[in-house]
Structure formats: structure tokens, C-alpha cells
Structure 1
């Protein structure tokens, strides 16, 4: 286990729920931060989403709330607000994903929070940025997938727009938020000054989608339509093989030349249409169709062997069920088995991050609702009698 994690000592008050915010804070908790998850008496909505063994401990919640502690506070009650103010004074970060009008009604505006703690980083995760046409409206992953243009990318030919079957907007903006938060923390370390950080799902996801798809509209006036043709090619997809599906992407000049050799199309090696990436881009549909036709009578094992030998990027299409059998993931111990005090044996995927060749540890199990209320209240100076009173007011 890593003894000194990068964010050890960083104290975060986490008022977020569902996926975007909890994913942000789980990443920070994985890196060593002390994350205090503040929940109302009903708890995070994800506590009831998915398979569950115990009440309020569903699979969705378990997937995004490790390395945290939980305290229940009904912030409509003055005594609970006082607890949060005490936490604010002693913390480095306050993060929430309420709509601006709700956090303002509760009295925890950026200005008031900064007045209590000038070094604190106030992070607001919003559906839409300030002063826009949609400011203050509710937003969830499906809505942002549609508004950002992501869903429309599936509309090839006469197909309808489709959602990516993953909470991709929530998770993408969670990554964006963690980056922005850590940048603000560096500022605190350099200048001793906190910041107000605002993250917009809509603007953030639109920027994410347009990175490659702005294309001809990058220029003013426009030099073409939006949409990166290679990614929108109707033939860009996993290819059917004799015993499954495989993804193949020759990309460099050398990789394409090797591929032409493999499929016994040496004539294409001198074809000017395929001589460099600029020329290949003009006929990418033809090339993808060529791949499709060349692999359908071969097995995945046969293809992987020859593609690996020729250093051509490839990978067999895994199902969710057989991911745990993937030979690479097994070798790197990606699926970690942990023992939870109430949920028993759990399997927790690794993060993909290693520091000094070591994975980030699971230091704290996913907490039950309000599991750590007493210890957190003790840490900020409440007496036993005061704690009993606070706990009684914040019972489910």
C-alpha cells in the first residue's frame, strides 16, 4: 500500500449525489483526500439504484463511494447548518451539485463560504453555466448527451439519435471537475488563496464533443461542415469474425502497409489514395470496408496473432460479463476483491492510476448512511450531549 498518498491531509466536504459529483470525490478520495460525504436523511439517490443486499447500499452507490465517510445532515434545520459551517471552517474544499438557487436558499453562497474560510475552494457542479438561456434548469446525463450533440453522432443515414449506454456525461464532467479542483488547490498551496470553481455539464460536454467534431467549423468563415468523417464512417465499427467481433485500426503509414501485406493486397501499397493519412482520410469508408471483408472468415485468435506480430492496433470485443476473464486485466489484478463490513465480498475495479508502480488503495469502505456521523462531530468539537441532539434531529 502507498503510505503517503498525494492528497493526504486534504479535507473535502462533499454535498454531491448521484454520479458526477460522487465520481469526482471518489477519485480524490482514492488519491488520499479525507472526503466527508454529507447526505440528507434520505441519503444519496444511488443508494436505491441497482442490486442490493442491504437497504440503502445498492450497487450503483457502492461503485462510486469508496474512500469516503458519511454524515447525515438535514440542512433545512439550523442546528445542521451550524454543523456544516463548523466543517467549512476546518476544510479545504466544499463541493456540491445543487442548482444555484437551491444552494443560495440554504445560505451557503460562495461569498458567505469564502467569508468563513478564505482559503477554501468552493466547487459548484451545474447543469448549465451562469447567465445562459438554460441557467437553473435541471440536467441529467441523458439531457446533456442530447444537447451536447453526442446523441446525434449516431444519426448516420436514416438512423435516429441514440444515447451512449453509459453515464458518459456525468463521468466525463467528473474528470473535468477533479482537474479544475486540483488546479485550484495548487493555487492555494502557491498563494494561500481559495477559489470559486464552477463546472457546467452542458458547456463541458459540448467542448468535449467538438474537440474533433468541430472540424470545418473551426474556421471563420467555415471551411466545411462539422463532424469528423473518419469517426462518422458507416463502416467504422467492430468487425464480425468467424467466432466473434474484433476492433482493428491501422493508423500510421507503416501499419497500413503491413495490413495490406497481411490481407494479400500488395497492390494497394503503391496506391496513391492510401499513401499518407491525408489521402487515406478521403477514402476511409473504402478502407474500413476492406477490413470488414478481410476478417470475416478468420477467428479472433488467428487475427490477434498476425496483427500483434505486425504491430497493428487491435482488440477483441469484450462483453461486460467476460471482462473479468480478460487476460490483461487478470494479470494486472484489475478486479480487486474487498471485504465490506455489511455487504460481504465485493469486487472493485482498479482506477487505471499507479503511483510508484502501485495501485491506489481502498482505505475506507463505502459507508452506510450516516455511518461516521459521531466520529466527524467529535472531530469538530461537539460534546456527547450535543452529538446525541444532532443525531436525533438527523434521523431517517
Structure 2
């Protein structure tokens, strides 16, 4: 059987569902990328990538690491939503190879035309969207079509970053990156609202609270409005900063109120739960900080890192740790050290955003410590999950 798998890569366990290769490679890629970024901050230039190191760091943490995790989750979850087989086998391995090939070319452009490198990177998300769309439409699960406009706008943001890099337009690169951060934050708001309260009540045996429809609509609608404001900025129609700050503030207040109704204070003994609750808390924190940045109180990059390190990357670590157990047939429990890994990510986010805002004179040390914390956190994940992600389910089922 093992020989057969080697002759036919499509039969390998790692090719059975998208979360397996994409979670594994995304985690590994993040550690390598952050290591290179740490070396850069200490004066060692290890790469001469496409677009330069500043562009490479922004782009690859968003469209290398983050969208790989998002795609792995969506391509796995769509099978549960629809009851139809998702991408697997050789087509899945081909998609992963495309993602990996783009990462290599962005790091080592080898004098290739910039438009060719950009085109290879831009193909990945449309293929993910095509698979999700086909399965959702086949069973008419229209509720899940909400992810498709987000994926479409992510493609636009990626295109904007590439065009900005090729033209040397730093503002266009920045606007594309900001739109990407807010779009992934919107995905967290949508998915977090679906799973965090459910995971909490199921695990702790709590009685579910009645949903406040007005609060749900305001929470989602306000973040959608934030995304639309940034989209308008990208397209050249910037609104007054006071209005943008007000929209950010409304989104922050609504989502903090939403989070407080999920009983997160009961979760202190369950890292896979408090990791989700705390990571969600960084969404309103980041939006509030962004509103302050628009008012001239803070630097915008501090708010961005509250969302990216505290929100996105911490929630992704918690979700990958949970999904990788459930979808490999294992008991969902916090493995040794995962609580430490999540705590390291929370500490990295606190250092990189609110603490750095209060104590800017220790920027260099905060950068160093937060990067090291990130690398340690994802190395702990890799130590526990590399084997489960590469071997067959323990219950013998496919997936």
C-alpha cells in the first residue's frame, strides 16, 4: 500500500483534504519568513526578493501565509457545508504546488519578467474560489456564497499590490495590503460568529444565549462598511478621515459587544477556546486603534499588527490546532504546549501593537521579541501536528 501511494501521489494521506498540506506548509512558511524578517531587522540581508524585502514581507505574510490557511479552511469546510467531495488527490497537490511555486519565485525571482511572477501568484485564489463556488451552487447553499465576494476582493487587493510593486507605487501597495487585512478580518468576523459561541457552549455545557439579530447585523455590517471604505481608498475616492474613523469606531464597539455575549470568561482552562476569544478581541482593538490612527493619535501600522498578529495569526493557530484534530479523527483536546504557543502569539501581539504604541523607544527589541515568540509558537504547532497532518485518519475514514 505504501509503495502504491508513492507511485500515485494522489493516494497520499496528505492529499486527502486541503487543510493537510496547506496548514502544514503555511505554518512552516511563516516560521521561515519571520526568520528572514528577523535577520533583516538585525542587518543581515538574506534575500533579494521580487518587490524588495518590505514588499515581500507584507505580501507574503498576507498572500503566502494567511490566504493559504484561509484556503485550506474553506476548501475543507465546503465539504461539510455541501456534503460533496472537495478538492483532493492530484488536483489538490497541483494547487498546492502552484502556491509553493509562487512563493519560490517571489523569494528568488531569477530575472524573470515581473508580470510573469505576478500572474503565477494571482492564479491561486481564483482556483480556490472556483472550487468553492462549484460546490456551493451544486447544492444551493446560498448562505455560504458570502465568502465569494470576499475572495474576489482579495484577488483585487493582490493585483493592486503587484501593480504597485511593478510601478514602484508604495501607496498602491499599502492600500492593497490594508484592504487585504480588513477582508481577512471580515472573514474572521463571519466565521468567528459561526463557530466561537458554538464551540464554547458545546465544550463547556453552557446554555446558548439568544442571538441578538440587530447586534449581529451591526457587527457584520459595520466591518463590511470598513472594507468598503478601504476599497474606495484603493480606487482613489478617499472619504474624510473623521468619517473613516467613525466607521472604524462603530465596528469596534459592535464587535466587542458581540464578543462579550459569548461567555469567554468561562474558557480560562481551555486554550483552544480562550485562544479564539482573545484573538477575536484583537479585531475590535485593532479597529479602534486604526480609528485613532486616522485621527492622528497612533501609527496605522500598529493597528494593522493588532489585527494581523493578534487577530488573524492567533485565530489561525487556534483554528488549525482544532481543525487538524477533528478532521484527522482525533479527540479535540489541547495538546501539550499548544496553550503556551497561543500565549506566545497573544504576547507577541500585545508587544507589537498596544505596548509598542505606549513605549515606542524600545521598537527594535519589541520587533525582535515578537518575531521570536511567533516562530516559537508555530514551531510548537509543527512539532505536534506535522505527523497527524501527513498520516491517515486514526478512525480509518477518508479525509
Q: Do both share a fold (TM > 0.5)?
A: no
Question: What TM-score do the two structures reach when normalised by structure 1?
Answer: 0.26
More strand by share: 1
More helix by share: 2
